[in-house]
């Protein structure tokens, strides 16, 4: 190697190099963060006095992670909102008290914002409607967003601001819930995020920038260096807001930005084509939102075909939000006649065997969320039939069919936590310890690949940084657990440390 080496030598760690997970005799970590693998003898003759040896038995060294599906501005807004996810028991009285506290904390805000209600998954939550919200806060606009982001609950002041009344027609794809007693609007609205944007007061730009910085800092602290914003509302203004923050963000983090299919031409006209790069932002797939919450697919087949055709004509593969089997059926039917390399499905939460086979034959990729098993698995087990349970998060089956699968948090639906992703993918355990569809569990190696190598693949990025397994010029992480052993007991307790900061 020539000359004395400075850095640290990790002895007997487990190492994941993007393709293999194995124990090695030693790893030399240079001061610039790059690493060499090899036997101690290969380094000994060149080790200078400044080189420190570390007993790394029981540790795993891995490349930094890529979260392939988040909603950065929503995560930032949620950080600035009042989060009620910590409320394990939320009675009517307790929710009223929480709203009053949130209103006091946000007393200078243009609207009271709460987030984190599991409206679709908690039994006995039917009391959460505008009647309750009006009783607690009758004179200020109030919006509660569910954790998933797919439902909002508004009080009457907020509904008036948004111009929503009893005679207001439901926009395509949006559902206004009505009470059974009198058929009046309950204030609960499904798939309404796009519709409400611009109709309700937004956070000031300075506040949003502060929220973005807090969100990026949180994400980076979990070992994530790459993230993909997969928001179906992504337009030029959102791009410019994120760009104004991330380009000056001091930590090593890059973002892939998926443009909304409805804004695609604006980006192309601005010279922002697929894979083009400006600063720390890379242009990603064209994002299409497919919903079925009202029992009717939106967009319909004809409109969806046009969206796919437009995206492909502009050189963009598509990333399609699809949760249920009905949506997947239509997507597969359309893509078999109009496919572009890189097309992917977001979530694919429920799948049949025949759908998995078709996805493999078409060459589609899937970005899914294993941590939902941990966070929501108990509710799934309580509310779903055995047949439906066996269709959920079929990660192993997808991989065996040749489908590239990446893992993500869908933040802010769940917090960005790669260790929870690894744990959930391996064990299929829920928060209470129940097991959901265990035959779909995967190995530590495949779990790590979902967060690194396979994330690179489905994002359309070059894989060159993984093609030299002996020398890496990449920011590595140290996990305080030997994943090569196959053990899972301490994964959730593990704290990710960047190798340059490890002592």
Instruction: Mark whether 337 and 388 lie in a shared domain.
Output: yes
Cα separations (Å) of 267 from 87, 164, 262, 319?
A: 41, 32, 10, 16
- Same domain as 95, residue 220: no
All residue ranges of the chain with pLDDT < 70 are 1-6, 32-33, 38-50, 88-89, 119-126, 387, 462-474
Asked whether the bond before 45 is cis by omega within 30 degrees of 0, the reply is no
Residue 172 CA to its chain's centroid (Å): 26
3-class SS at 315? coil
CATH number at residue 93: 3.10.310.70
Q: What is the pLDDT of residue 471?
A: 40
Q: Are 358 and 463 part of one and the same domain?
A: yes
Last residue of a domain, one of 141, 173, 196: 196
67: closest CA among 428, 368, 393, 372? 368
Residue 48 sits in the same domain as residue 148? no
Q: How many CB atoms lie within 10 A of CB 228?
A: 28
CA–CA distance, 193 with 198 (Å, rounded to integer) = 10
pLDDT of residue 126: 66
Token match 């973005």: residue? 212
User: What is the SS3 assignment for 14?
Assistant: strand
pLDDT of the residue at 1: 42
* β strands within 71-219, DSSP E: 82-83, 112-117, 142-146, 151-154, 175-178, 185-190
Percentages of the chain per state (helix, strand, coil), in multiples of 5: 35, 20, 45
Residues 428 and 486 in one domain: no
Domain with 145, as residue range(s), is 72-196
- State residue 148's pLDDT score: 80
pLDDT at 425: 98
Q: Which of 138, 161, 196 is the last residue of a domain?
A: 196
**Token digits of residue 327:** 């949506």
Name every residue whose Cβ is closer than 8 Å to that of residue 19 and which is 6 or more positions away in sequence. 449, 453, 466, 469
* pLDDT for the residue 466: 44
pLDDT at 261: 98
107 and 228 share a domain?
no
Name the DSSP letter for residue 110: S
Q: What is the CATH number of the domain that holds 9?
A: 2.30.40.10
Among 196, 219, 234, which residue terminates a domain? 196
- Which of 103, 106, 105, 84 has the alpha carbon at shortest distance from 95? 84
Q: How far apart are CA 230 and CA 177, in angstroms?
A: 27
As a whole number of Å, the end-to-end CA separation of the chain is 25
Task: Give the tokens for residue 94.
Answer: 């307790």
Pairing verdict, β 175-178 and 151-154: unpaired
Q: Are 64 and 225 in contact (CB under 8 A)?
A: yes
Give CA–CA dist 391/42, Å, rounded: 50
pLDDT of 388 reads: 87
Residues 416 and 370 in one domain: yes
Q: Where residue 319 sits, what CATH number does that domain have?
A: 3.20.20.140
Same domain, 484 and 415: no
Tokens of 174: 């949006």
Rounded-to-integer distance, Cα 256 and Cα 246, Å: 11
Could you tell me the maximum CA-CA distance found in the chain, to the nearest angstrom?
84
Same domain, 183 and 229: no
Nearest one of 355, 363, 483, 479 to 427, comparing CA atoms = 483
- Same domain assignment for residues 214 and 188: no
- The pLDDT tens digits for 376-403 are 999 889 887 776 899 999 999 999 999 9
Say if residue 54 is in the same domain as residue 105: no
Residue in this structure with the two tokens 């690493």, named with its chain if needed: 35
Q: How many whole angstroms from its chain centre is CA 410?
A: 2
Same-domain status, 290 and 346: yes
Distance from C-alpha of 102 to C-alpha of 100, rounded to nearest angstrom: 5
Domain count, the chain: 3
């Amino acid at each position: 190697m020539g000359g004395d080496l400075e850095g640290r030598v990790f002895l007997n760690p487990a190492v994941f190099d993007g393709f293999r997970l194995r124990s090695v005799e030693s790893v030399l970590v240079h001061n610039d963060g790059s690493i060499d693998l090899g036997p101690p003898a290969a380094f000994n003759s060149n080790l200078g006095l400044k080189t420190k040896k570390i007993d790394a038995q029981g540790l795993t060294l891995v490349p930094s992670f890529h979260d392939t599906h988040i909603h950065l501005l929503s995560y930032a807004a949620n950080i600035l909102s009042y989060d009620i996810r910590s409320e394990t028991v939320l009675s009517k009285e307790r929710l009223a008290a929480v709203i009053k506290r949130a209103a006091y904390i946000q007393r200078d805000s243009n609207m009271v914002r709460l987030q984190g209600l599991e409206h679709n998954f908690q039994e006995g939550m039917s009391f959460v409607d505008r009647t309750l919200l009006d009783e607690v806060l009758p004179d200020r606009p109030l919006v509660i967003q569910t954790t998933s982001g797919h439902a909002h609950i508004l009080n009457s002041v907020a509904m008036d601001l948004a111009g929503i009344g009893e005679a207001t027609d439901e926009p395509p794809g949006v559902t206004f819930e009505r009470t059974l007693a009198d058929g009046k609007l309950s204030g609960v609205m499904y798939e309404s995020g796009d519709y409400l944007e611009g109709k309700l007061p937004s956070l000031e730009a300075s506040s949003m920038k502060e929220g973005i910085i807090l969100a990026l800092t949180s994400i980076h602290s979990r070992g994530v260096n790459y993230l993909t914003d997969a928001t179906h509302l992504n337009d030029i203004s959102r791009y410019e807001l994120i760009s104004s923050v991330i380009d000056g963000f001091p930590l090593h983090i890059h973002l892939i930005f998926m443009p909304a299919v409805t804004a695609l031409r604006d980006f192309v006209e601005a010279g922002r084509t697929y894979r083009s790069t400006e600063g720390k932002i890379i242009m990603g797939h064209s994002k299409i939102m497919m919903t079925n919450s009202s029992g009717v697919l939106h967009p319909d087949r004809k409109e969806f075909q046009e969206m796919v055709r437009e995206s492909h004509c502009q050189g963009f593969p598509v990333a399609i939000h699809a949760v249920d089997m009905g949506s997947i059926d239509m997507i597969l039917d359309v893509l078999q006649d109009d496919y572009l390399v890189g097309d992917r499905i977001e979530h694919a939460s429920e799948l049949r065997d025949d759908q998995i086979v078709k996805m493999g034959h078409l060459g589609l990729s899937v970005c899914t969320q294993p941590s939902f098993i941990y966070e929501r698995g108990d509710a799934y087990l309580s509310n779903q039939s055995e047949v439906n349970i066996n269709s959920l998060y079929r990660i192993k089956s997808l991989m065996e069919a040749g489908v590239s699968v990446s893992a993500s948090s869908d933040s802010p639906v769940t917090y960005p936590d790669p260790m929870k992703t690894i744990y959930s993918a391996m064990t299929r355990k829920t928060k209470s310890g129940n097991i959901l569809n265990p035959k779909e569990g995967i190995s530590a190696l495949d779990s790590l690949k979902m967060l690194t190598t396979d994330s690179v693949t489905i994002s359309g990025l070059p894989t060159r940084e993984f093609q030299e397994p002996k020398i890496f010029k990449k920011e590595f992480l140290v996990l305080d657990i030997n994943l090569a052993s196959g053990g899972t007991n301490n994964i959730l307790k593990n704290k990710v440390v960047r190798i340059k900061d490890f002592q």
